[in-house]
Structure 1
Amino acid sequence: MKRLKMLWHIMQVTGFTRFALSFVTFVFGSGGVLFLVEPAITNYGDGLWYAFVTSTTVGYGDLLAVTLIGRITSVFLTIYGLIFFGCLSAVIFNYYTNLNKERGEDK
């Protein structure tokens, strides 16, 4: 729990919370879009699962997008996920680098 509080603090200090909220909103919205357009996705939970797995670039392959809108949504989910998790790593690294500089530990 302490680590989650620290992560939340870092996100607030760096202003990353807005980007994180936009990412989560996009994943939930994409789950709905995929539920509406994909024949293999029969409920919102499956659409959300597919959106999450695609955005994290895991891609289990248990569900596939076959429509044009579903595939385009999948591409955007993948790109957005790569950018989001890359930026999250950079924000955390930058925060600790600056913290070490302020403490004088980075010599």
Structure 2
Amino acid sequence: MINFRMLVDVLRHSGFGPITCVFAIAFLICSAAVWLADPETLTFGDGAWFSFEVVSTIGFGDVNATGPVARVAAVVLSVLSIFYIALLTGVVVSYCTTAIKARQEGTLANFAANLERLDEMTPEELAAFSARVREYRRTQ
């Protein structure tokens, strides 16, 4: 449960939700543009399939962009997908870093490091350290 909360916090702080909505809207708009403007694309599903091939860089070639509108949509979607996939990678790295940091806070090495610098701690840090010690003693 704590990992889920951590994931929600990372997603919220990264702005992943709104960016995903913008990306999904761009995906649907490009799919519709390919469907409506390209003579070889017969259904919206074909347009969505073409858009998926562009985003995933698979490019099977079964649906081609022959018209200029479809080609522009492919370029726009390619550029957007590069940034979106980079953001997705950053969110995964941020989550892993946060999880590792959370695990390290409860380790014996961290406890010993905090004991060594008790005289340097601010009152807030001392209170937080004391609360962690009480929590640890309660669970043991």
Fold agreement, TM-score > 0.5: yes
What count of residue pairs does the alignment treat as equivalent?
A: 103
Q: CA deviation at 1:59?
A: 1.0
| Partner in structure 1 of residue 94 of structure 2 | 94
- 1:43-86, Cα deviation, whole Å (9 max, x unpaired): 11111111112111111111111111111110111111121112
Query: Any idea what SS the aligned residue of 2:57 has?
Result: coil
Name which one, 1 or 2, has greater alpha-carbon Rg: 2
Q: Which amino acid aligns with 1:43?
A: T
Match of 1:30 in 2: 30
Secondary structure of the 1:104 match is helix
- SS of the aligned residue for 1:64 comes to coil
Q: CA deviation at 1:41?
A: 0.3
Superposition TM-score, scaled by structure 1 size: 0.81
Does the alignment pair 1:52 with 2:52? yes
Q: Shift of the alpha carbon at 1:26?
A: 0.8
AA in 2 matched with 1:38: D
The one-letter code sitting in structure 2 at the alignment partner of 1:36 is L
* Deviation for aligned residue 1:104: 2.4
The structure, 1 or 2, with the larger RCO (C-alpha pairs under 8 Å, 6+ apart) is 1
Gaps of 5+ in 2: 111-140
TM-score normalized with structure 2 length: 0.64
Greater share of helix residues, 1 or 2?
Answer: 2
| C-alpha distance after superposition, 1:17-51 (max 9, x if no partner) | 11111111111111111111101101111111111
* 1:66 aligned counterpart, secondary structure: coil
Gaps of 5+ in 1: none
